[in-house]
């Protein structure tokens, strides 16, 4: 029994303790910064298969100071399995918002589109920030995205939380971002995450 529960109190058993029942003593991940792009007046920003490929299991996108040219617009994320030739992939998204410093403005927006909407109704005078995690890009069937955004609406700051189920028939190797109308300024950093 001592071998089964480890060699000391509260110690996790090792592979030697369990004989042929091998397992990892810990789960580790490797995160690498792959790419940064700063843009101004862009109709869209694409990250292609130079960066999104089978090297990594998951990807993280960090958007900073994103400012649209059109007030009241929303940022949309598109994905592709053929390096951008087609982004006609179904996204089922649920997102929730809350006004910062008060509970006056709260709500939710479920959608089913060929993109993930990361927020709505942004004004043009303040930059938005957002972090998106895209999981299991190499698996066909479903890929999942989780995101959190902080944006300035017409007169108040809001935080948005959400997730998408993305129905992909093969591995995703392309992600692009575009505002629903107008152009965008900002910076995007791309990170690759490898589970080992």
**Domain-wise residue ranges, the chain:** 29-145+161-195
Mean pLDDT of 8-13: 50
Q: How confident is the model at residue 7 (pLDDT cuts 50, 70, 90)?
A: very low
Tell me which CATH code domain 29-145+161-195 carries: 2.60.120
SS3 4: helix
Q: How confident is the model at residue 102 (pLDDT cuts 50, 70, 90)?
A: confident
Q: Give the burial class of 170: count Cβ atoms within 10 A of its Cβ; 0-12 exposed, 13-18 middle, 19 or more buried.
A: exposed
Q: So what's the pLDDT on residue 126?
A: 82
Please state which of the ranges 62-71, 100-109, 115-124, 182-191 shows the lowest mean pLDDT: 100-109
Distance (Å, whole) CA 165 – CA 127:
27
Say what the pTM is: 0.83
Q: Give the burial class of 78: count Cβ atoms within 10 A of its Cβ; 0-12 exposed, 13-18 middle, 19 or more buried.
A: buried
**Summary mean pLDDT of the chain:** 86
CB atoms closer than 10 angstroms to residue 13: 16
Q: How confident is the model at residue 55 (pLDDT cuts 50, 70, 90)?
A: very high
Say how far residue 193 (Cα) sits from the centre of its chain. 12
Distance (Å, whole) CA 117 – CA 94:
9
Distance (Å, whole) CA 172 – CA 143:
8
């Amino acid at each position: 029994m001592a071998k089964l529960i480890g060699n000391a109190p509260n110690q996790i058993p090792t592979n030697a303790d369990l004989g042929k029942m091998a397992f990892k003593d810990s789960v580790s991940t490797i995160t690498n910064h792959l790419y940064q792009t700063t843009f101004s007046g862009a109709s869209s920003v694409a990250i292609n298969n130079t960066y999104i490929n089978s090297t990594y299991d998951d990807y993280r996108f960090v958007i900073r100071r994103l400012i649209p040219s059109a007030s009241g617009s929303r940022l949309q994320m598109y994905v592709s399995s053929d390096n951008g030739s087609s982004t006609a992939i179904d996204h089922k998204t649920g997102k929730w918002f809350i006004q910062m410093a008060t509970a006056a403005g709260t709500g939710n927006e479920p959608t089913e589109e060929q993109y993930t909407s990361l927020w709505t109704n942004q004004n043009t005078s303040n930059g938005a920030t957002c972090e998106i995690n895209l999981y299991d890009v190499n698996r066909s069937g479903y890929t999942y995205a989780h995101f959190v955004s902080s944006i300035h609406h017409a007169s108040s700051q809001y935080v948005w939380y959400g997730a998408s189920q993305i129905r992909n028939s093969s591995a995703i190797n392309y992600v692009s971002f575009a505002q629903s109308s107008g152009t965008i300024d900002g910076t995007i950093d791309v990170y690759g995450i490898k589970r080992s």
